[in-house]
Structure 1
Amino acid sequence: MSARRALLTGASGFIGSRLAQRLLDDGWEVHLVLRPDSAGDALPAAGPRLHLHRHDGSTTQLVEIMRAAAPQAVFHLASLFLAQHQVTDVERLVQANLLFGTQLAEAMAQCGVRLLVNTSTAWEHYEDGDYNPVCLYAATKHAFSALLRYYVECHGLRVATLKLFDTYGPGDTRPKALNLLKRIANEGSSLAMSPGEQLIDLVYIDDVLDAFLQAWQLLANGGQAAAMAEYGVSSGAPLALRALAELYSQASGKPLNIEWGGRPYRPREVMVPWTRYQTVPGWQPKVTLAEGLARFHHG
């Protein structure tokens, strides 16, 4: 029996690289779509079931890649994340989060590929709104979902969109709060932070990968009733940044020198995460925060 085939975007990022490795470990043949300038440091080691495709930016070439890969599953994780954008960022945000995704959906439609696990963000739902984007990045992710509706209705795509909360794990070098805490713990330095009352919802990387695979399994088995569904990938137990810092101090065994209130909250700071989401049926997080923080610190 031949291996299942997946096409994956965003494999140069933290979550995408881990998902690519997980798929390989599970026996999949994996096709990665990368920009010509994407770094290969985080990619899985070369092997007979791993195929790299450098996308030249055109829709026609992406159709050729899709046809060659002939995947049973497409996992779309590529994006440009900017918590706050500058004027010069607008073109990059639209290209990465709208144009490329639309090219991907078009390639699927042209090649008869139907099952897509898409990635978005809980930041589409500021102050628990049905749609209230925290930033332009979140607005572009929502706009892509609107574009996907065309491919669902007219070309038979079936889409599960995972809206991620905060994610973390060993080897994560993204400029997030946990890495700031790790740095001052290891260096013994100090850090000015906001007052720290915002709630953080952290999901460990292994649980995030489980959610992606469970979402695909639902699509493949017909277990997702709607052709287009959205799921929140949440720990279900957010906690204040101050409390997170205390837990991290315990996990690392080191004191943290933090000046709480030393910097203001950023514009549209998410104080309380989105709550009105549906969880991926059959999925729940398994790694406790204490266990995950210990792995993160030592990883």
Structure 2
Amino acid sequence: MSAAAPRRALVTGASGFIGAALTRRLLADGWEVHLVLRASSSTAGLPDAGGRLHLHRHDGSTLQLITILRSAAPDIVFHLASLFLATHKAEDIDRLINANLLFSTQLVEAMAACGARQLVNTGTSWEHYQDQAYNPVCLYAATKQAFNALLRYYIEVHGLRVVTLKLFDTYGAGDTRPKILNLLKRLANDGSTLGMSPGEQLMDLVYIDDVLDAFLLAAEQLSTQAGAMEEYGVSSGQPLPLKALAALYAEVSGKPLNIEWGGRPYREREVMVPWHSYRSVPGWRPKVGLAQGLALFHHA
């Protein structure tokens, strides 16, 4: 009896930290993986194409994306590509709409044209400012919700089945994104001083291995879930104030952090208390504790 063919995944956003990690995880688990990348996207952090990894450069057109989907014939599409901006300027509007709405809609149009029906989509907890059903922290979060609304058409007319994972803060070994943990790492390593907000906002961090577990469980659920569209929060369940996070980082790194608390004001629409009216992916819980995760991050 011949061995079963590997499952096929198509991944967008593989040039990013989470997308690259998901690609490596899928390959390690025996999947055949097709990546859709822009012509300018870096492949640093990704294995060399070949074998079970296939790279497709998207020229920006819907028709070419249909050709890519037809060639890849994925069982599951993992959509992680997006442009994240905590605050935007007027000149950012085109980039935000093109990345988070235009490309996303082209993707599901291509799925519909090629008979691909299962999508794991990526959203953000920032769609739920002050724990509301919908209140975007920023325009980036608003574009995520706008695509979610567009998805309804493809679900009703083309039979797509969708799980949207709304991510909280994510981190892990090798993460070079310009986020709070890399600021703390720099302070620990070079002893510089940095002015920060008063530090009472709650931070909710999930380690990358746990994030990947959530994506794979979401993919499994697509074939069994009762509804055509479900959404889940991917949260540690244990948010802590930024001040406490900095203290824990100092303890883990063994180095003092020179922070001037209150040296700058809170950002406009700062998330003081993260969204907490979410449901978790059935069967998922975080396994990597924060102290362990920070040690892995700091010493990478």
Q: How does the TM-score come out when normalised to structure 2?
A: 0.98
Secondary structure at 1:118's aligned position in 2?
strand
Secondary structure at 1:292's aligned position in 2?
helix
Identity of aligned residues (%): 73
2:44 counterpart of 1:44: no
2:22 counterpart of 1:19: yes
Following TM superposition, by how much is the alpha carbon of 1:47 offset from its aligned partner in structure 2, in angstroms? 3.3
**What CA RMSD, in Å, does the superposition of the two structures yield over aligned residues?**
0.6
Following TM superposition, by how much is the alpha carbon of 1:185 offset from its aligned partner in structure 2, in angstroms? 0.1
Question: Which residue matches 1:150?
Answer: 153
Query: Could you tell me whether the CA contact under 8 Å between 2:9 and 2:75 is conserved in 1?
Result: yes
The partner residue of 1:72 within 47, 72, 75 is 75
The partner residue of 2:100 within 97, 100, 104 is 97
Question: Which residue matches 1:295?
Answer: 296
Question: Which residue matches 1:279?
Answer: 280
Query: Could you tell me whether the CA contact under 8 Å between 1:17 and 1:44 is conserved in 2?
Result: no
Q: How does 1:44-63 map to 2 (within 5 A)?
A: 44-63=47-66
Following TM superposition, by how much is the alpha carbon of 1:45 offset from its aligned partner in structure 2, in angstroms? 3.0
Distance in 2 (alpha carbons) for counterparts of 1:133 and 1:44: 36
Q: Runs of 5+ in structure 2 lacking a partner?
A: none
Following TM superposition, by how much is the alpha carbon of 1:90 offset from its aligned partner in structure 2, in angstroms? 0.3
1:226-281 Cα distance to aligned partner (Å, 9 max, x none) = 10011000000000000000000011010101000001111100000000001000
Following TM superposition, by how much is the alpha carbon of 1:168 offset from its aligned partner in structure 2, in angstroms? 0.2
The amino acid that maps onto 2:169 is: D
Secondary structure at 1:167's aligned position in 2?
strand
Secondary structure at 1:294's aligned position in 2?
helix
Following TM superposition, by how much is the alpha carbon of 1:177 offset from its aligned partner in structure 2, in angstroms? 0.6
Distance in 2 (alpha carbons) for counterparts of 1:47 and 1:60: 25
Secondary structure at 2:15's aligned position in 1?
coil
2:182 counterpart of 1:179: yes
Q: How does the TM-score come out when normalised to structure 1?
A: 0.99
Distance in 1 (alpha carbons) for counterparts of 2:227 and 2:262: 45
Question: Which residue matches 1:87?
Answer: 90
Aligned residues: 297
Distance in 2 (alpha carbons) for counterparts of 1:56 and 1:147: 22
Question: Which residue matches 1:218?
Answer: 221
Query: Could you tell me whether the CA contact under 8 Å between 1:35 and 1:55 is conserved in 2?
Result: yes
1:139-160 Cα distance to aligned partner (Å, 9 max, x none) = 0000000000100010000000
Distance in 2 (alpha carbons) for counterparts of 1:293 and 1:47: 34
Question: Which residue matches 1:4?
Answer: 7
Q: How does 1:138-287 map to 2 (within 5 A)?
A: 138-220=141-223, 222=224, 224-287=225-288
Following TM superposition, by how much is the alpha carbon of 1:44 offset from its aligned partner in structure 2, in angstroms? 2.3
What stretches of structure 1 move > 3 A for 4+ residues in a row?
Answer: none
Query: Could you tell me whether the CA contact under 8 Å between 2:196 and 2:262 is conserved in 1?
Result: yes
Secondary structure at 1:245's aligned position in 2?
helix
Following TM superposition, by how much is the alpha carbon of 1:2 offset from its aligned partner in structure 2, in angstroms? 1.1
Query: Could you tell me whether the CA contact under 8 Å between 2:118 and 2:161 is conserved in 1?
Result: yes
The partner residue of 1:135 within 115, 138, 141 is 138
Query: Could you tell me whether the CA contact under 8 Å between 1:194 and 1:261 is conserved in 2?
Result: yes
Query: Could you tell me whether the CA contact under 8 Å between 2:194 and 2:258 is conserved in 1?
Result: yes
Following TM superposition, by how much is the alpha carbon of 1:43 offset from its aligned partner in structure 2, in angstroms? 1.8
